[in-house]
Chains A and B, each alone.
Chain A
Amino acid sequence: GAVVSQHPSWVICKSGTSVKIECRSLDFQATTMFWYRQFPKQSLMLMATSNEGSKATYEQGVEKDKFLINHASLTLSTLTVTSAHPEDSSFYICSARDRIRTQYFGPGTRLTVL
């Protein structure tokens, strides 16, 4: 089956620093990737849609200047949380859409901001 990886799996950082999370589709090319966020005991919430070679589309209420998304190749998308604060602590999950439009999810990245 299709495999999506994320790196790092967890990260702890100080308030005010920036953190980059990578999402890779390992065995297929993905023109579209998605970034989700999940707070404890809540469901996944879509943050943005990332299209290869173009600007990401952000969901309402998600600050594009705070959550920078780059989709430079058909197998890699990155999410950078800029000037992270404790309220940004969450489980960040990416997904990649294959050619028959099924989304496969990465294992997630646990971000803790101190």
Chain B
Amino acid sequence: DAKTTQPPSMDCAEGRAANLPCNHSTISGNEYVYWYRQIHSQGPQYIIHGLKNNETNEMASLIITEDRKSSTLILPHATLRDTAVYYCIVSADETSGSRLTFGEGTQLTVNP
């Protein structure tokens, strides 16, 4: 699986948009970009995933660059409950059997 690079930490003001970047410059054509988050002492929570096109759901938006070498997860109106470690993972069924390799992620702290 392609390696991802994320900033170790970010801060965001409550009510503002949180934009979390991820670099995956070695991504292969069949690899999806997944985002999960983990609140302290809980299991990871699925947020969103995409292949080429931008995606949006009730939790967040995923913006993938045209060359697919980077992406940004957007939480449009961050709340204190969004404080968590956010993981960006690339994975493909064909090469990894859907195995997810977790890096260190980004610790997002939403401040009041």
B99 touches A43 (CB 8 A): no
Whether B42 is near chain A, meaning CB under 8 Å from some CB there, is yes
> Given A43-B104, A43-B105: A108 and B42 within 8 A (CB)?
yes
| Residues A69-108 near B (CB distance < 8 A) | 91, 93, 95, 97, 101-108
Binds A, one of B16-24, B44-52, B63-71, B74-82: B44-52
Whether A45 is near chain B, meaning CB under 8 Å from some CB there, is yes
Q: What is the interface of chain B mostly: helix, strand, loop, or mixed? A: loop
Whether A34 is near chain B, meaning CB under 8 Å from some CB there, is yes
Residues in chain B within 8 A of chain A (CB atoms) = 34, 36, 38, 41-46, 49, 87, 93, 97-105
Q: List 15 A-B contacts (CB under 8 A).
A: A1-B46, A4-B43, A34-B100, A36-B102, A43-B87, A43-B105, A44-B38, A46-B101, A49-B97, A105-B36, A105-B44, A105-B45, A105-B46, A107-B43, A110-B41
Given A32-B98, A101-B98, A110-B41, 13 more pairs with CB closer than 8 A: A2-B46, A4-B43, A32-B97, A43-B102, A43-B104, A49-B97, A95-B100, A97-B98, A102-B49, A103-B100, A104-B46, A105-B43, A107-B43
